[in-house]
Amino acid sequence: MNSTPRPTAPRTDCPVLQVPPASPAAAAAHFRASLAFHTDVADVAAALAAPGGPAFVLVDSRSTEAWEQGHVPGAVHLPTALVPEQAERLLDRAVPVVAYCWGPGCDGAARSALALAERGYRVKEMLGGFEYWAREGFAYDTAQGPERRSPDPLTAPTALGACGC
C-alpha cells in the first residue's frame, strides 16, 4: 500500500511542476511521436525470436573492436562513420532499420539513425543499446562465441523477463 499523500491542488513550490505538464493532447502527440523514433531491447528481442523473424534489420553502429566484444545475434555491423559509403550495399531502403550503439550514455545510435534517415531509410533507435541488451540477460555473440549474462534485477525487473508494460 502506498502511504504517500496525494496532492489535492496544483502546487507551484514543487520543482517537478515549475514548468507545468503538457496538456493531455500535447502529451499524447509527443509520446506517439517518441514511439515512432524509439524501441527497447525487450521488444527487439521479442521480434528477433518471433516466428518468421523481425520485420526490420538491426544495425550495430559501433566500432569493430566493440562489435567483437559483443553484439546482438543477427545484427548487421555498420559503424556510424561508414554509413555514407556502406549503407546502400548492406541495407534495403524498403526494410525499416533499428540502430543501436553502446548504451544510454552514448548518442552513437542517434547519430547513426540520423545518417540513415538522411539517406532515405526508415529508422528507429534501440533505447539502452548493447549495454541493456546484455544487462537484461539476452544472449549475444562475441569474437570468442556466444555469451549470456545473468539478468540485472535493476533492468530486468521480473523473473518472467517482461516488466508488464
The answer to whether the beta carbons of residues 57 and 94 sit under 8 Å apart is no
What's the sign of the alpha-carbon dihedral 24, 26, 27, 28?
Answer: positive
What are the sequence ranges of the domains in the chain? 37-147
* Residue linked to cell 545510435: 109
State how far Cα 72 lies from the chain centre: 12
CATH number of 37-147: 3.40.250.10
What is the model's pLDDT at position 163? 63
> What does the alpha-carbon distance between residue 130 and residue 138 come to, in Å, rounded to a whole number?
10
What is the model's pLDDT at position 117? 98
Pinpoint the alpha helices (H) of the chain.
24-37, 41-49, 64-69, 83-90, 108-118, 129-135
* Residue linked to cell 556502406: 86
By the 10 Å C-beta count (0-12 exposed, 13-18 middle, 19+ buried), 136 is classed as: buried
What is the model's pLDDT at position 6? 73
The answer to whether the beta carbons of residues 104 and 130 sit under 8 Å apart is no
**pLDDT single digits (tens) 53-107:** 999 999 999 999 999 999 999 999 999 999 999 999 999 999 999 999 999 999 9
Percent of the chain with pLDDT over 70: 89
- Coil vs helix vs strand at 99: strand
